[in-house]
Structure 1
Amino acid sequence: MSPDVQTLYAVTEATWPPARCEQLGPVTLREGKGGGKRVSAATVAGPITGAELVAAEMAMRALGQSPLFQVREGDGALDALLASEGYEVVDPVNLYVVPVAALTGEKPPRVSTFAVWEPLEIMREIWADGGIGPARIAVMERVTGPKTGLFGRHKDQPAATGFAAIHVGVAMVHALEVHARHRRAGMGRLMMLQAALWAQAEGAQYLSVICTKSNQGANGLYTAMGFAHVGDYHYRQKE
């Protein structure tokens, strides 16, 4: 059976993990150490009181992080509470999934894409050009399950990089970055094909990806490749 949105939330956590988690009442706090919203946002299980919200805000500030919550499907009451407390919606995203077997019938051209770990220096440079620095690479290094870097070449030049990891038979692609000089050349599609081939070799049944709703090009790519939209989440940030 295809993974549901709750499964993909768990895959996201395992394949892009925070530095540390702490439970404070119904709130799960995450210490991101500069790794971005996904590893820094708190989540809430069940009802939360105003006092518990204030305590969570204080704990996040004590970590040097602004109050930030990830709002998932079924979190309507939390969403309303945060809105009433002045939290603004930030970065709504789509979660997509496709059977690995649906993508492995086609192979990228020879020596165009590779699965490699540790990341090559040129991969780090492409990530850096796209705003993905050492703190996010540290997130990749924290993953304990099967993982790989993705590297792509176009016209014999370094062109793209990404990261993939597997949890409960589902591979998820993160930090996919195509160098500005090589965009609109089909590299994003080839990188996803490479991710599927790696996932198949590692025994995964599904390939998944997260994409901000505002990224029309990437959303169109994943839809065209047969990815199914499984669910959503968004952030609410106070400061």
Structure 2
Amino acid sequence: MIGPDACMAALSATWPAARAWSQDGWTLRDGASGGKRASAASAETGARAADLAGLMPDGALAMLRPGEEALESDLAALGYSVVDPTLIYAAPVDDLAQKPPHVSLFDIWPPLAIMREIWADGDIGPARLAVMDRVTGPKTGLIARLSDRAVGCGFCAIHDGIAMLHAVEIAPAYRRQGAARTMLHGAAHWAQGQGADWLALAVTEANAPARALYEAAGMQVVTRYHYRYLAR
């Protein structure tokens, strides 16, 4: 199994900030409204909880990983709330890859207008599409079809042999009909063709249906993280 650090590096590279820099023991990120993954600060050696609020005046947001319990305790004492406990699942590409059934899934980049519409209906708007545009490695959009219509889409990108699947959105009327499963296996098939060794993804602990799908496919939890947020 791949290690937690490799997964986190792939997560960052395939959902990148608009800008990142080091300051006072923290890696700070300007996500340009591209979501928490692209915006959260992460601790470097010597990071101090007391410094973070002054570095992020619009609302301090930190990503916490296993092993950062002391920092976690300090942030909690300062009033930072836990947000979105998240798991990263992974599996070998060769175990997941299946050629999609005829016309059930296509990979295409840049995304079609219908893909942008499906994403927009799931609150994945222009700022998150801009995150996808910033990715510099191999990447693609995925569009799933059922009953001769587009019903879902996702984004997949590769860093250092790890393909990360992001922004999976299935239209509500077509959920639990196999489109997400087709997308998962189709993403692995695309990644296999690009020479990737692993497929990974992040999902919130609260998303039980998605977790059940990934576990049924043989994916395993590699690591976890959550955010601590101090509102202004």
Residue type at the aligned position of 2:25: P
Q: Name the CA distance, whole Å, in 2 between partners of 1:103 and 1:3.
A: 15
Q: Name the CA distance, whole Å, in 2 between partners of 1:46 and 1:214.
A: 31
Partner of residue 182, structure 1: 174
Q: Which runs of 5+ in 1 are unaligned?
A: none
Contact 2:25 2:44 in 1 (8 A): yes
Partner of residue 58, structure 1: 54
Instruction: Give the aligned length.
Output: 231
Q: Name the CA distance, whole Å, in 2 between partners of 1:49 and 1:215.
A: 32
Q: Which runs of 4+ in 1 moved over 3 A?
A: none
Residue type at the aligned position of 2:56: M
Partner of residue 198, structure 1: 190
Contact 1:92 1:234 in 2 (8 A): yes
Distance 1:86 1:154, change over 3 A: same
Matched, 1:113 2:105: yes
Contact 2:29 2:40 in 1 (8 A): yes
Contact 1:47 1:78 in 2 (8 A): no
Question: If the length of structure 1 is used for normalisation, what is the TM-score?
Answer: 0.94
Please report how far the alpha carbon of residue 142 of structure 1 lies from its aligned counterpart in structure 2 after TM superposition: 0.2
Partner of residue 24, structure 2: 25
Q: Name the CA distance, whole Å, in 2 between partners of 1:119 and 1:77.
A: 43
Structural RMSD (CA): 1.0
Contact 1:97 1:207 in 2 (8 A): yes
Contact 1:160 1:176 in 2 (8 A): yes
Partner of residue 91, structure 2: 98
Contact 2:82 2:228 in 1 (8 A): yes
Please report how far the alpha carbon of residue 57 of structure 1 lies from its aligned counterpart in structure 2 after TM superposition: 2.0
Partner of residue 201, structure 2: 209
* Seq. identity, %: 47
Please report how far the alpha carbon of residue 46 of structure 1 lies from its aligned counterpart in structure 2 after TM superposition: 2.4
Matched, 1:87 2:86: no
Contact 2:48 2:71 in 1 (8 A): no
Post-superposition Cα deviations, 1:77-99, rounded to whole Å, max 9, x if no partner, equal: 11111001000100000001000
Question: If the length of structure 2 is used for normalisation, what is the TM-score?
Answer: 0.97
Partner of residue 49, structure 1: 48
Q: Name the CA distance, whole Å, in 2 between partners of 1:229 and 1:207.
A: 12
Partner of residue 60, structure 2: 67
SS at match of 1:82: helix
SS at match of 1:111: coil
Q: Name the CA distance, whole Å, in 1 between partners of 2:55 and 2:144.
A: 41
Please report how far the alpha carbon of residue 136 of structure 1 lies from its aligned counterpart in structure 2 after TM superposition: 0.3
Partner of residue 173, structure 1: 165
Partner of residue 9, structure 2: 10
Q: Name the CA distance, whole Å, in 2 between partners of 1:79 and 1:119.
A: 39
Q: Which runs of 5+ in 2 are unaligned?
A: none
Q: Name the CA distance, whole Å, in 1 between partners of 2:139 and 2:59.
A: 30
Q: Name the CA distance, whole Å, in 2 between partners of 1:30 and 1:103.
A: 33
Matched, 1:158 2:150: yes
Partner of residue 124, structure 2: 132
Q: Name the CA distance, whole Å, in 2 between partners of 1:103 and 1:89.
A: 33
